[in-house]
Amino acid sequence: MNIIAENRRARFDYEITETCEAGIQLNGQEVKSAKGGRFQIAGSRVLIRGGEAWLVNSHIPPYQPKNAPVDYEEDRARRLLLQKDEIKKFMGVLNEKGHMLIPLSAYLKNGFIKIDLGLARVKRKSDKREDLKKEVHRREMRKEE
């Protein structure tokens, strides 16, 4: 697995309950740009509209900026390739308050670009503080060894 992009804040800001893998529909220059490591998913999320999953607020700059089409949008919504039963399952959970579907990482798998999605719930400030305390404690334990 060759990781192209990672959403590092996701696990800090959200409590991930479930993960799944999805493909993404890109055009040719977006694929080349993403494989070059210029794919940004921080701050993006997944919406379900019309029975399809869409990745919004992701950013893929053109592979060759001077040779890009005039109407190219770097921040356009991109369709995610999921099975219908997975989409229906997520639709039921996303209707509950506080749940959202966020991308955790994008990577290459057998030449295809895949996105690891996480079903998330927003953490409270107290939960974040507890996580930071646990991490500091783990670091101290590693130093003592």
Q: Report the CATH number that the domain containing residue 103 is assigned in CATH.
A: 2.40.280.10
Is 118's pLDDT higher than 90? yes
Domain tally, the chain: 1
Domain that holds residue 109: 2-144
The DSSP secondary structure of 82-127, one letter per residue, reads --HHHHHHHHHHHTSTTEEEEEEEEEEETTEEEEEEEEEEEPPHHH
Q: Which residue has the higher pLDDT, 126 or 133?
A: 133
CB 7 within 8 Å of CB 105: yes
Q: How far apart are the first and last CA of the chain?
A: 31
List, for residues 39-86, the tens digit of each pLDDT value.
Answer: 999 989 999 999 899 999 999 998 888 888 888 888 899 999 999 999
Give the pLDDT band of residue 119 (cuts 50, 70, 90): very high
Give the pLDDT band of residue 107 (cuts 50, 70, 90): very high
- CA–CA dist 29, 103 (Å, integer): 21
